[in-house]
Structure 1
Amino acid sequence: MNLDNNFSVLIGVYHKDNPEYFRQAMDSILNQTVKSNDIVLSIDGPIYSELLEIVREYLSKYPEIHPIWLSENIGQGRAFQKALPQCQNEIVFRMDSDDISVPTRFEKQLIYLIEHPDVKLLSSTISEFIDTPKNVVTVKKVPETNEEIIHLAQRWNPINHPSAVFYKSAVLSVGSYQDFYRYEDYYLWVRMLDVGYKAANIQESLLFYRLSSANLKRRMNWQTTKSAIKFHQWKYKIGFAGWKDTYYMIIVMLGIFITPDFIFEQIYKRVRK
């Protein structure tokens, strides 16, 4: 099967990102078996020192990287809302600035989309690691079929955003990325599923996701908890989730918030295994 490079990659970076992790992420994009002709780099506010130097290094070496410089940090949802229309191609791969895509990720996901033209949103299993990809501590699996994805979406996020690929026109038709603290991607997926776009997940790990105690704690602070409650209430309001699922998730989110960090980390790792 002949695969062309007419697809885009959307990756965001901001001043708190680790320069070396960013380099690893970029290299994993550039060293794919099928390479993109359009890598859109969303730079969310001013960046400095080593991170800025690395960004400039890649811009000078790779003309396929197209930067979007935002004058202030506005958050991932709003930043991607501005960046997505600048992607030159209909198929857009997502990538985070501290993760590592396996070399065949783009190839395998492109083949899947070609063989399943009705699927407009696709992700995969991801391997969560600490320090090095050789130290995988959890594997985050998501359901394969559209029906299973819709069922899971009533309670949990059914798409692994770091390994997502989608059709630009489908995302724009539902209002694109929007600001919803810590729930920008889940909010987008539900809007797509709610209007009938079909999704799927490849049952193979195609990305290494960097896990740390810091990002686990971010999932359980009060600001995140309030946003989660608001989000699940919204799903009920639009008729996507029933009242049982809604109240169950509100109780779960409050339970996560009051659980001590070290206990939550152990539960998270056990559930993922």
Structure 2
Amino acid sequence: MFLTSSYTLLSNLEHKIENHALVGMAVYEGDRLDWIKQAIKSVLTQSYQDFTLIIVIDGEVHNDVYTLLVNLEHQHNNLILLKTTENQGLSVCMNLIVDLFVKKNTQYFFRMDADDISMKDRFLKQVQFFEQNPNIDILGTALIEINEKGKKVGSRKLPIKHHEILRILPKRCAINHPTVALRAGIFKDGFRYRGDLKNTQDYFLWAELCANNYIFANLPKALLKFRRVNDFYKRRGLSKSINEFKARFYTMKVLKRYSMGNIVYACAVLFLRLMPAKLVKLAYKIDRYLLNKRVRHE
């Protein structure tokens, strides 16, 4: 058992396989056991298998969740467990994984959330795209939105080409974070998630990477089922709303894309985010409908 800062490594690395890709996941107290099972199964049964799944238990979790994770770690040579003494947030967890496990032979880093489900060929299709497009550094995909019971309740697709993503980024986060795969060279170059942020950490990172000439793309096919639960709109509260507002202005600054349209959009979204949950839900659905109508994939 290896202790670093406030993190404990629960796995014996002598028996772990070194692979060319890492999959980063964090589990915390609010995550449901059945959803965690589905998320992990969707990763471990991928058609592409050259990866190590690293799960950070972020603070205290229910005993049944802890037992599940420990049992799975014993069963799978490509699963590594870490545990924090207290909840640190997604940014810190992902940065810890990067700092400890991104090595010279690491080529790719996949994101995965503990309540989502990856399609069986997600990793394979993203790796194939990277291999066929060596200029692309960050790759997201479209996604399907599901409810608590796994029923489809929506979809989300985004621009697929870098210049389209760059154009839209000051207004919206143009990469679906749970779907993203990155070349590990980004982290070897020193880039990290902002550890002081509990949310919108991906938005700030995408803007920073765009400003440093890294190239983005999205696959048009939905390769992940994203869990949109009943309190989804309530959770988009004051802190997240303010951070999104700051992220939009940060993006305008670093990309030199100040415009009246972008500024008005940022202010309008902040205003809407602070409205009652029912109005936020309605605005979200309208925005998603307009985006899906606007974004047309071949």
Fold-level similarity (TM above 0.5): yes
Specify every segment of 5 or more residues in structure 2 that has no aligned partner in the other structure, as ranges.
1-18, 290-298
Paired residue secondary structure (1:118): coil
Q: What are the residue-to-residue correspondences of 1:1-273 with 2, within 5 Å?
A: 6-88=20-102, 89-133=106-150, 135-173=151-189, 175-178=191-194, 179-219=196-236, 221-273=237-289
Q: Which amino acid aligns with 1:110?
A: V
Q: 1:245 deviation in Å?
A: 4.5
Q: 1:154 deviation in Å?
A: 1.5
* In 1: Cα distance, 2:177 partner to 2:129 partner: 17
Q: Which amino acid aligns with 1:108?
A: K
Q: Quick one: structure 1 residues 87 and 240, their matched pair in 2 at CA, closer, same or farther if it must change by over 3 Å?
A: farther
Paired residue secondary structure (1:60): helix
Q: 1:69 deviation in Å?
A: 1.7
* In 2: Cα distance, 1:66 partner to 1:32 partner: 17
Task: Report how many aligned residue pairs link the two structures.
Answer: 267
Q: Is the 8 A contact 1:45 1:72 kept in 2?
A: yes
Q: How much identity, in percent, do the aligned residues show?
A: 23
Q: 1:43 deviation in Å?
A: 1.9
TM-score, normalised via structure 1 length: 0.91
Q: Quick one: structure 1 residues 228 and 271, their matched pair in 2 at CA, closer, same or farther if it must change by over 3 Å?
A: closer
Q: Is the 8 A contact 2:23 2:112 kept in 1?
A: yes
* In 1: Cα distance, 2:147 partner to 2:183 partner: 31
Q: Which moved more, 1:136-145 or 1:254-263?
A: 254-263
Q: 1:122 deviation in Å?
A: 0.1
2:16 corresponding residue in structure 1: none
Q: 1:54 deviation in Å?
A: 1.0
Q: Is the 8 A contact 1:31 1:103 kept in 2?
A: yes
CA distances 1:104-146 after superposition (whole Å, capped 9, x unpaired): 111111111100011010010000011233x211111110100
CA distances 1:192-246 after superposition (whole Å, capped 9, x unpaired): 1111000100000000000012122212x22222222222232233344314244
* In 2: Cα distance, 1:103 partner to 1:214 partner: 28
Q: Is the 8 A contact 1:194 1:240 kept in 2?
A: no
CA distances 1:80-116 after superposition (whole Å, capped 9, x unpaired): 1111123342201110000000101111111111000
* In 2: Cα distance, 1:175 partner to 1:245 partner: 30
Specify every segment of 5 or more residues in structure 1 that has no aligned partner in the other structure, as ranges.
none
Q: 1:37 deviation in Å?
A: 3.4
CA distances 1:235-264 after superposition (whole Å, capped 9, x unpaired): 233344314244223322232134321232
Q: What RMSD over aligned residues (CA atoms) do the two structures have, in Å?
A: 1.8
